[in-house]
Amino acid sequence: MNHFQYIDGALHAEDVPLADIAAAVGTPFYCYSTATLERHYKVFSEAFADHDALICYAVKANANLAVIRTLADLGAGADVVSEGELRKALAGGVPADRIVFSGVGKTHAEIAYALDCGVMQLNVESIPELEALSAIAAGKGITASIGIRINPDVDARTHEKISTGKAENKFGIAAAAAPEAFARAAALPGVRPVSVAVHIGSQLTDLEPFRAAFTTLAALVGELRAQGHEIERVDLGGGLGIPYREESLPLPIDYAAVVKGAVGNLGCQLVFEPGRMLVGNAGVLVSRVIYVKEGEAKRFVIVDAAMNDLMRPAMYDAWHDIKPLNAPPQDAPVAPVDVVGPACETSDTFARQRNLTPIREGDLLAILTAGAYGAVMASTYNVRLLTPEILVRGSKWSIVRARPSYEDLLRQDSLATWQDRSI
Ligand code: LLP
């Protein structure tokens, strides 16, 4: 469910015609819908209304300050994986005591900064990290609440590049080695192990891998408690998949049933780190058709967005729906086209042999489900400007990240000291 719908033949974000935004800010641009963000947060949180649950939005999915603020206003915490994300979460209004710091390679400086901020919990992923964290916290005279992320060796049955819970992945500590890690943590100064964390991957479309991982986690909590550890929280990560092509997928309520069945009776606070589920369908990327090119073998629709703006098709062969901003007539014929960007590589392809209604030069297209892992993964490849971001709320819209200027972009580099600046 999202709030990007045709009204009188024009694709709207809530009450705003996307074409109006295009006319004002140019293309390409990302547009996010507040009502969709709010709806997704509410659906997720209501599924756990009968539990002590904290939803820590995974900032990596969309780090725009206005998006973070929208979710923070609803009571969301944050899951962050870098000092930058931590700073964004705080600036977006998430209280430090609702922030979990995850990630396999936190630097010592990042750990020190997170401790100074007083984050709720740091999730530790290795013994060397545990030792570093202990030393840094003890040096500050602080005792930090930590979780230990386990690797349950579960196949998430998602794209291999976004699977994280198999033994061969870099993430977490093997479940079998966790009791030893907890014992080590309990013996170290500066840390208090209070939580077990797990995250097995992203865009999961099947609940069984979750059930397997959470069952392993629950058994471990029992074992750890028997050894005298006080486990107050379990952090169940994110990963719930969303429909990219209107397929029917497990709903948050189905996911909640699996969660409650596996860990509901542990008496622990439940922490979740959803990213995509909250923001994915709340965003679109709007782009204008530059040319329609009749190739030797195919017709190419060349748009002004490129792989640097939305990496997912190039990186994960991801499928994103594409809709014209002007609704085509009901009986419009469809024909296969490749929708491509201007970047100089073949992977700069948003859709291959997609059956679309006739598209002409100058038309505006929306690439859907682009709210998660879209703008955050953008780059300036081919020296293209980063895409602006717009947030809509009802009939209002606001630029929440402006398009930079070429001057901004050129200022980022400088000549070497020995090079002649007068040229
Ligand atoms: N927690 C941890 C520890 C994570 O590593 C992730 C995602 C999440 C939570 C949020 O997962 P979500 O609920 O969004 O599935 N760029 C890829 C996705 C990478 C996900 C990385 N970790 C994509 O575009 O598909």
Q: What is the 3-state secondary structure (H, E, C) of 49-118?
A: CCCCEEEEEEHHHCCCHHHHHHHHHCCCEEEECCHHHHHHHHHCCCCHHHEEECCCCCCHHHHHHHHHHC
pLDDT tens digits along 120-150: 999 999 999 999 999 999 999 999 999 999 9
Q: Is 138 helix (H, G, I), strand (E, B) or coil?
A: helix
- The answer, yes or no, to whether any atom of ligand 1 lies below 6 A from the CB of 275, is yes
In this model, does residue 168 exceed pLDDT 90? no
Query: What average pLDDT does the segment 375-401 reach?
Result: 98
> 201 in ligand 1 pocket by Cβ < 6 Å?
no
- The angle at the Cα of 277, spanning 257 to 219, to the nearest 5 degrees, equals 40
User: Ligand 1 center to residue 163 CA distance, Å?
Assistant: 9
pLDDT at 1: 73
Q: How confident is the model at residue 12, as a pLDDT?
A: 98
User: Which atom in ligand 1 lies closest to the alpha carbon of residue 274?
Assistant: 13
- Could you say which of 56, 117, 268, 344 is catalytic? 344
Q: Which atom in ligand 1 lies closest to the alpha carbon of residue 239?
A: 15
* Residue 157 pLDDT greater than 90, yes or no: no
Distances (CA, A) of 269 to 15, 233, 251: 38, 5, 21
CA distances from 3 to 23, 245, 275, 282 (A): 20, 16, 18, 8
User: What pLDDT is stored for residue 100 in this prediction?
Assistant: 98
Kindly report, residue by residue over 212-240, the tens digit of the pLDDT.
999 999 999 999 999 999 999 999 999 99
- Report pLDDT for 200: 95
281 alpha carbon – ligand 1 mean position (Å): 15
CB contact at 8 A, 215 and 259: no
Q: How would residue 152 be classed by pLDDT, with cut points 50, 70 and 90? A: very high
**What is the Å distance from ligand 1's center to 138 Cα?**
31
Active site residue 344: yes
DSSP 3-state helix, strand, coil percentages of the chain (rounded to 5)? 35, 25, 40
For residue 28, whether the previous peptide bond is cis, meaning omega lies within 30 degrees of 0, is yes
pTM of the shown model: 0.97
For the Cβ of 98 lying below 6 angstroms from any atom of ligand 1, the answer is: no
pLDDT, tens digit, for every residue of 24-80? 999 999 999 999 999 999 999 999 999 999 999 999 999 999 999 999 999 999 999
Q: Ligand 1: which atom is nearest the Cα of residue 149?
A: 3
| Mean pLDDT value across residues 338-347 | 97
Q: Is 314 close to ligand 1, i.e. is its CB under 6 Å away?
A: no
Find, among 226, 234, 297, the residue nearest to 260 by Cα: 234
Dist. CA 61–CA 72, nearest whole Å? 15
Task: Note the pLDDT of residue 52.
Answer: 97
Asked if residue 55 has its Cβ within 6 Å of ligand 1, the reply is no
- Pairing mode of beta strands 99-101, 77-80: parallel
Please give the average per-residue pLDDT across 303-331, as a whole number.
97
From atom 7 of ligand 1, which residue's Cα is the shortest distance away?
202
Cα radius of gyration (the chain): 23
Provide the pLDDT for residue 131: 98
* Contact (CB, 8 A) for 235 and 196: yes
